Amino acid sequence: FMKFIPTFYDSGLTFINDQDDCSSKNMTIYFPIDGWTQSFTTAIYGNTPTITIYLPNGKTTYYAQYDVPFIDPSPTTPNLLLRQTVIPCDNIDWTTRDAYCYILEGTARTWTSARDYCHRSQMMSFLVDVHSNDTQNFLELQTGSADYWIGLNSLKTQGQWEWDVPDGAAYSHLDGYTNWAPGEPANDPNLRCVQVRHSGTNVGLWYATDCTQTLPFACQKHRYGQGLSPGEQDVNLLPQGMWRADISTASGSCYVQVRSQSQIQPYYGFVQDIHSDQPDQYGIFNSQSNRLAATVTGLSAFNANSPSGTVNYAFMYKGNTSMNRAVTFEQRALCAYQFVSQPFTFPGQNINPNFVIDDFFIKFSGVDQFGNLFERFSPAYCRKQVIATCYNGGTQYQGVCICPPYFTGPTCSVRVCQNGGGLSSDGTKCTCTTAFTGGSCEFPLCLPPYPATFHNNGKTLAIVLETSYSTGAAVFRLRRNLNAVLNQVLNGTTAAWFSNFILYPFDSTTNMANWYAPGVYTTVDTLTAALMNITPSQCPGDAACSSSCPRPIMTALNATLNYPQLATPNSQVLIITQSSPEDNAVVDQVLTQIQQTGVKVSVLVTDTQSPCAMGFNSTEGRALFSLAGFSGGSVFQVSSFELTGAFMTSYLPTLYSAAIISGGFAQNCSSQLTYIQVDQNMTDFTLDAFGANVQVALTGPNGPVALPSIDLLSSSFNYFQVVGTNLLQGAGIYTLSVSAAGSECSVQVRGGSPLETFIAYTQVTDQYNGATQDDAHYAPVSGMGQQNVIMVHARGLTRGRMSYVEIAGDTGLVFTSPLARRSNCSYEFYSTNSFLCNARTFIIAVHGWDDFGLNFRRLAIGHCVDTRPIPSPPPAFCDLKQRKLDLVFILDGSMPNSSFQVVKTFVKTLLIAYNINGNFTQIGLITVAATATSQFTLAASQNGGVPALVDAVPYDGSNGQNMTAALTLLISTYLQQSNGYRNDAQHLAIYITSNAGFFADGDPIQLSKSMRRGGSWGIATMAYGILSGANGGNYLIQLAGSGCSYHAGNPTDLNTNGFNFLQSKTCFDGHLCQ
């Protein structure tokens, strides 16, 4: 029986069954043999059982069958028959005995030559081993009276006898059975190989012999092939297909098992979650969500063009081997257990729910790479789960813990570490990498964080005012009433809304030289005083008023948006006019400026049916809608009386802390429905509709809403109404029905709520698809390869969260992404996906749920820009005194001496924040002009004294920037440990220059790239002053790489933003600017 133990290696149960009577009626079974099976073993238990095995072609097998004599042999009591079916030996030259094949080679060879002969590829064998007297007797019968070599030797170490083994196997030391002749083995260093001798006396015994003697020998191999176990691909495989066996007994019942030795073996466990990859050894008896998670070896595809094998089903058997359950499998990705089953309950669960533990069989069924059926049985058990506590917010359901995100295990006590975090040995803590934080390392960290303020106060109110004869009534009303209107609006929570005011009067192009002077004002009184300088119904200047109606509205607006005193973002611009724009050629420039500044533009067309009486559907009229709609504003047709009356006092407050929550444009307005999502905290919302004879009806969650019968505007084109607290029916979905006589209409709904969202964008420069970036801008950037990430700050959101973002263009939905939370950021949510800004103008919608669990949505208008302003660098976000740095400054010695002294002072002041010594930060310095000179090495700063070292650096003054020489010097001198270079420090070279390019032989940019790739030095560049030459900034960016170059325009910029730029760069872990 012991000889059958190896048959369990790489073995799986393929078939089990029993039959009550196997004597009067044979038991016939069918079992599949897959394409990787090298042998199978049948075990039959019964009274004197017999078995006949048939190949898939129906013929009785001629394959070698290796039997173990009956265990407990008796004609009246059950006994066990074991039979292994395996490929026979190669050909008739080999003799089969048990599990091995033997061949006697009569040609005499030395021992080593005989060993090598057995190991050659044609033989795939080894010199014979003798581990029992039965084997010795078998060899004696084969060899007759000849002396012959066996595999025993002490060639490796004298006195330590080992058997020859198959290639790749560990040496087998001599132990157990021996057959030494008297006095053997001889302790002679020349006698280190063993023969079986038949000459002389004591024949058939082992003798230590000189290995150079030539003798016949015997080779041996397992019937699997050269190896001692199955597993070698394509070696001695059994015919694949459905095999048959007929089993009988002398009397009574029989029980049969078939085990296959094959690469195909299942490994599995039980999970309660389809995503879990940590299965348990048992299932949960009282659970409705048990699943099998399995992986099956030996099913991989041979190449990309060939199919892999699959496991398709799991059949569950209980008691009398009758099937009770069947489930299907599906594949999953990125899992150790690549297959998962559909959920199931356990056999017997619904019959006897009082079971505490129960066992059963699972049969896995699938198809191998060749299309052959395979089946593997495995015993399994389930138990009744009694869980006292689910930890970390887990919830108990049907006997199992349903774990929240980032936790797993039977009681939700094990953390799931994200983003490369390492799990502690007790499973309760994650150690995060530098860029992530949180209990499970789930939150990216902004590196560095950019300070940002989110508020609605301190903004600008800009009035772009047409001062033609036609707008005389509007000017008159503004002069008379604007002071009172603004004082009424700027009261209570809105008192600090505007910190300044811009008034930009304009008229026709022909009298542009005489336009009233624009101005910036800090109070309402000074603004209205400026209005008093404008004479109503009289054109500026002495010339007669032009009869040309279109006016340069775009030019006036563009000039307004370029005022440095304009607060950004979310300032308000009111265009008051009767005209349409004549300067549409600059509309893209204006739209870009609107996006860059983040202003909201409202167009108030006064005392006329349409701009220049051309109709709102004209090209010029549509241009006004573009200005307003693009910024999130509106177009209104108002009378002069309404301009400073009830409309203005109602309209302006709705712009404070309000957000677009719904809206759109339609070309068929016979019946247009708009859905409005109102969140729990919303205090009011504003209905703003535009169209010919527009009509509006509103339905809330509880039914129709009775809107006021009196509109705030007398215009037949506008509907404007504020739905206040008294009309709201609570949170939910409201339906706005809009109808208009014309073919086109627009709707905008703004909601007032303490829950506010601030949307910004950045372009990916980090290695985490923007997750760690906080350098926000109001507009995304278009262009090849510019991957934009959306960032959101949500004020008034504590227990709730942002969930996802959508972008829609002219053709519909163009982008969507989840919004994920992060830490240490001004914008705490970011889109996990990035997008290319291809739609010049788009609508962006951010979704979330509030603190009460109710959904909310906020809309904004976006516009792609070609470039964005460089953000001001944030201050350092680490303790600079604890940084271990090797910093080498490369100073431009060709700049004017005054500038050179400013830069030296900058370096000294910059380094005050660091701990300068041999344990923390070390400093070196190079000057470069026509040549490069090492002023002092890193070692010189190991005892401090940096100010004196920098003061002593002389001014060169020669022309040129030999950066090739400077970088060569950096590599040759500052990489030497004798000069202070430390392998365990971070290394950064900082180049400060006012030159546009490099005037020398060689290619310093390629040299810099090579150096950065090698990891020896990173490079940061800083331009000080105005560079000579248009491409100076590009040179420096190419030298340092993206994100490691800054242009300081003046000493103030250098000593504020320059400080922040360099100090924050040295806060990063890992390679700096490489």
**pLDDT at site 1028:** 44
**pLDDT at site 348:** 60
Decide if pLDDT at 587 tops 60.
Answer: yes
pLDDT confidence bin for 351, thresholds 50/70/90: low
Identify whether the C-beta of residue 119 lies closer than 8 Å to the C-beta of residue 125.
yes
CA dihedral 152, 156, 161, 164 (to 10 degrees): -30
Q: Which amino acid is at 666?
A: A
pLDDT confidence bin for 150, thresholds 50/70/90: very high
Identify whether the C-beta of residue 90 lies closer than 8 Å to the C-beta of residue 100.
no
Q: Tell me the Cα Rg of the chain.
A: 44
List pLDDT tens digits, range 739-779: 888 767 888 899 989 999 999 999 998 889 999 999 999 88
**pLDDT at site 347:** 65
Strands (DSSP E) found in 132-289:
148-157, 160-163, 172-173, 193-197, 205-209, 215-222, 241-248, 251-261, 266-271, 283-284
User: What is the Cα–Cα distance from 275 to 269, expressed in whole angstroms?
Assistant: 13
pLDDT confidence bin for 3, thresholds 50/70/90: low
- H-state helical runs in 935-999: 946-951, 963-973
pLDDT confidence bin for 995, thresholds 50/70/90: confident
| Residue 724 vs residues 680, 695, 729: alpha-carbon distances, Å | 14, 19, 10
Angle at 639 between CA 638 and CA 645, to 5 degrees: 90
List pLDDT tens digits, range 863-881: 888 888 878 888 998 999 9
Instruction: Return the minimum-mean-pLDDT range out of 57-61, 388-392, 487-491, 741-745.
Output: 741-745
842-846 mean pLDDT: 94
**Cβ atoms within 10 A of the Cβ of 93, count?**
10
704-718 mean pLDDT: 84
DSSP line for 595-659: HHHT-EEEEEEESSSSGGGS-TTSHHHHHHHHHHHHHT--EEEE-HHHHTSHHHHHHHHHTTTEE
Share of the chain above pLDDT 90, in %: 57
Identify whether the C-beta of residue 653 lies closer than 8 Å to the C-beta of residue 489.
yes
List pLDDT tens digits, range 522-560: 999 999 999 999 999 888 888 778 777 899 999 999 999
Decide if pLDDT at 952 tops 90.
Answer: yes
Lookup result for tokens 């400054």:
889
955-962 mean pLDDT: 90
The separation between the first and the last C-alpha atoms of the chain, rounded to the nearest angstrom, is: 67
**Cβ atoms within 10 A of the Cβ of 910, count?**
19
**pLDDT at site 605:** 94
User: What is the Cα–Cα distance from 492 to 305, expressed in whole angstroms?
Assistant: 72
pTM for the full predicted model: 0.69
**pLDDT at site 1068:** 84
Decide if pLDDT at 235 tops 70.
Answer: no
Q: Which residues pair with 844 in a beta bridge?
A: 807, 860
pLDDT confidence bin for 105, thresholds 50/70/90: very high
Structure tokens, 985: 């420090």
pLDDT confidence bin for 710, thresholds 50/70/90: confident
Helix (H) or strand (E) holding 452: none
**pLDDT at site 352:** 57
More confident residue, 1022 or 1030: 1022
Decide if pLDDT at 138 tops 50.
Answer: yes
Average pLDDT, the chain: 89
Identify whether the C-beta of residue 113 lies closer than 8 Å to the C-beta of residue 213.
no
Decide if pLDDT at 229 tops 60.
Answer: no
Contact partners, residue 972, CB within 8 Å, separation at least 6? none
Domains in the chain, please, with CATH? Answer: 2-88+232-260 (2.60.120.1290), 95-222 (3.10.100.10), 266-293+310-360+381-401 (no CATH), 417-443 (no CATH), 457-656 (3.40.50.410), 755-863 (2.60.40.10), 880-1065 (3.40.50.410)
**pLDDT at site 226:** 43
pLDDT confidence bin for 665, thresholds 50/70/90: confident
User: What is the Cα–Cα distance from 770 to 762, expressed in whole angstroms?
Assistant: 7
List pLDDT tens digits, range 890-938: 999 999 999 999 999 999 999 999 999 999 999 999 999 999 999 999 9
Decide if pLDDT at 192 tops 50.
Answer: yes
**pLDDT at site 993:** 92
**pLDDT at site 356:** 65
Contact partners, residue 608, CB within 8 Å, separation at least 6? 470, 578, 637
964-991 mean pLDDT: 94
Most confident of the ranges 86-100, 434-448, 863-877: 434-448
Q: Which amino acid is at 410?
A: P
Structure tokens, 707: 């809107």
Structure tokens, 992: 């400060």
305-313 mean pLDDT: 93
**pLDDT at site 71:** 55
DSSP secondary-structure letter at 786?
Answer: -
List pLDDT tens digits, range 475-494: 999 999 999 999 999 999 99
DSSP line for 61-75: P-SEEEEEEEES--S
**pLDDT at site 64:** 58
Decide if pLDDT at 960 tops 90.
Answer: no
pLDDT confidence bin for 284, thresholds 50/70/90: confident
User: What is the Cα–Cα distance from 635 to 681, expressed in whole angstroms?
Assistant: 28
List pLDDT tens digits, range 633-655: 999 999 999 989 888 888 999 89
Crossing angle of helices 472-489 and 646-654, in 10° steps, is: 50
Strands (DSSP E) found in 198-238:
205-209, 215-222
Decide if pLDDT at 726 tops 90.
Answer: no
**pLDDT at site 705:** 93
pLDDT confidence bin for 465, thresholds 50/70/90: very high
Helix (H) or strand (E) holding 27: strand 27-33
